[in-house]
Amino acid sequence: MPGNDKLNTYIDEATRLLGDPNPRAAYPSLRAALGYPASISLSPELFQTALHILAEIVGRIASRDTTSIAARAASLPNDAVALFVLGMSMMGQEQYDIAATMLTRAVACDLDSSHYRAQAIAALERSGNFTDALHYLEASSDEWKESLLGIYQKAWFSVRTGDLSVAREVNDRLQEGCKHTQDAFYLSAAARINTVVCREAKVRHVCSLDEKDTRGWNYILNGGILLHLSPYGKEVMNGRYAYIQDTESLCNEAILKLHAVLRQQNIRIPKVFVLADAKSQILALALGRTLGCEMIAWPDGGTDEPGLVPVYDLEELSDVVFSSLARDAPGQYLWVHTVRWVDHTPRIYAADFVTYLQQAYSSPWDARAREGDSIGVAGSGVDLRTADLGVLANRIVDAESDSTSWDDEPEILALADVISFGQGRPIGARSYVLTMAMGWSLVALHHMVIAVERGNQLVAAARLGLD
């Protein structure tokens, strides 16, 4: 967690950027200080200064009501009601880290309010601060903790901190308690806990499921297979990337590992579906040529036909194409090449296969840094609007993978073997991807890559003007 010197730097930078013609320019630096849990370290004076900056930003881009809410909190930084109202406004704008700051401070101002505490727990959950969500839950009333919601929250928050023991302990009780309800939330909650308990039972003998086991936890949370782990920063990143320049070799590695799983599981892919976006098309063409199967265009509105759907990045798809992938049908597999492992807003689907997890990336065809350049200095990229995508696909097929990248193939195949990958799935809605910040706090990562992430943060700032 950053100290006051670092927070002072963020606040000073945000103050300076208030003079920028772009009213959202100051928001990334402000969010770095005001988002939870960094904000815990803010002195009362810095906290009030941050609130005034937020009020000024909101005043330039948001509605009169939202501006009034932010201004009131800035003038009354120790008022539980003012902080609560601002926190709920931030929840509505999907700024969950700032919402968590406001709502936890509202609780501190009024320890007896169960309503404030419930909303603080919700904000902590949505912002990925599950350890602190557990802390606030444990301080709740016995009545709350013994309710079905409290039992579910304790189990789920524990799972998200890497502890499956609570879920195992309460699973039978939760299933029994939800037997006679028609409430969709509780039915979904019970199913979620039962799913992770059943998944753990399958893989506990082949996966360590400790804080370093990103591949095992990806299966526990999302039911899919992670094909590639980053070799860099293993002690803190656990196989995930902060920033990666993707390559044709990595695309080739993913295809060959995916093919190995399909062979081992005797899964026959009758066709590869080709999406409209260029990057997904390139992957589909390369995969289809490797598997030697038919390649057809993904139909408008989607299909339940068996096959494999390669997607480069779900977040780059149009809303129409994304929605067409919502159904999860037997014999149809979704491979997503790159997945951002924090801050999924909007949410994306959990895939059967994921190549790698990242915070920021450039594709093999994007303008990129040259050897000796710093990140962000662009070399020439490929214009995918005019390029021959078939030629680019062939370059993936012909690329040579790094030999060390294959060291984990036995681990992947062992995981695929015990989970009977893809067997017996009913038609239903795809679940949404979940991420685990094992051994590395989300906020720490945010500070580490803030220069790379500024574009994403400005998108987040834009949401403040939606109302």
pLDDT at residue 103, rounded to an integer? 98
Q: Across-strand partners of 124?
A: none
pLDDT at residue 431, rounded to an integer? 86
Position 334 confidence tier, pLDDT thresholds 50, 70, 90:
very high
> Nearest Cα to 342, choosing from 436, 432, 217, 236?
436
Task: Using the CB atoms, write b or e for 356-375: b if 16+ within 10 Å.
Answer: bbbbbbbbbbeebeeeeeee
**In the chain, domain spans:** 4-128+458-465, 212-438
pLDDT at residue 262, rounded to an integer? 96
| Average pLDDT over every residue of 418-441 | 64
Single-letter amino acid code for the residue at 194: N
* Model pLDDT for residues 337-346, shown as the tens digit of each residue: 999 987 655 6
* Model pLDDT for residues 192-239, shown as the tens digit of each residue: 999 999 999 999 999 999 989 999 999 999 999 999 999 987 778 899
Quickly tell me which residue has 């990103």 as its tokens.
214
Look at residue 432 and give its three-state secondary structure.
strand
Indicate if the pLDDT at residue 348 is higher than 90. Answer: no
**Separation between Cα atoms, residue 211 and residue 439, nearest integer Å:** 6
Q: Across-strand partners of 467?
A: none
Percentages of the chain per state (helix, strand, coil), in multiples of 5: 55, 10, 35
Share of the chain above pLDDT 70, in %: 87
Higher-confidence residue: 451 or 407? 407
| Average pLDDT over every residue of 232-252 | 91
Specify the fold of 212-438: Rossmann fold (3.40.50)
**Strands (DSSP E) found in 324-411:** 327-328, 332-340, 353-362
pLDDT at residue 278, rounded to an integer? 98
pLDDT at residue 459, rounded to an integer? 38
**Separation between Cα atoms, residue 202 and residue 337, nearest integer Å:** 25
203: Cα separation from own chain's centroid? 23
Indicate if the pLDDT at residue 448 is higher than 80. Answer: no
pLDDT at residue 405, rounded to an integer? 80
Position 436 confidence tier, pLDDT thresholds 50, 70, 90:
low
* Model pLDDT for residues 136-177, shown as the tens digit of each residue: 999 999 999 999 999 999 999 999 999 999 999 999 999 999
Position 62 confidence tier, pLDDT thresholds 50, 70, 90:
confident
Yes or no: say if 342 and 128 are a contact pair by the CB < 8 Å rule: yes
Residues whose CB falls within 8 Å of the CB of residue 38, separated by 6 or more in sequence, listed in order = 1, 2, 7, 32, 443, 447
| Average pLDDT over every residue of 57-61 | 92
pLDDT at residue 351, rounded to an integer? 94
| Average pLDDT over every residue of 289-295 | 97
Yes or no: say if 337 and 283 are a contact pair by the CB < 8 Å rule: yes
Indicate if the pLDDT at residue 438 is higher than 50. Answer: no
Yes or no: say if 68 and 100 are a contact pair by the CB < 8 Å rule: no
Indicate if the pLDDT at residue 461 is higher than 60. Answer: no
* pTM of the complete model: 0.85
When mean pLDDT is compared across 58-62, 184-188, 311-315, 440-444, the lowest value belongs to 440-444
Position 466 confidence tier, pLDDT thresholds 50, 70, 90:
very low
| Average pLDDT over every residue of 177-188 | 92
**Separation between Cα atoms, residue 305 and residue 3, nearest integer Å:** 54
| Average pLDDT over every residue of 41-68 | 93
Indicate if the pLDDT at residue 32 is higher than 50. Answer: yes
Quickly tell me which residue has 């009213």 as its tokens.
23
317: Cα separation from own chain's centroid? 16
Q: Residue 426 is encoded by which pair of tokens?
A: 């009913």
pLDDT at residue 462, rounded to an integer? 41
Yes or no: say if 389 and 378 are a contact pair by the CB < 8 Å rule: no
**Separation between Cα atoms, residue 214 and residue 20, nearest integer Å:** 41
Higher-confidence residue: 435 or 50? 50
CATH architecture for the domain at 4-128+458-465: Alpha Horseshoe (1.25)
pLDDT at residue 397, rounded to an integer? 97
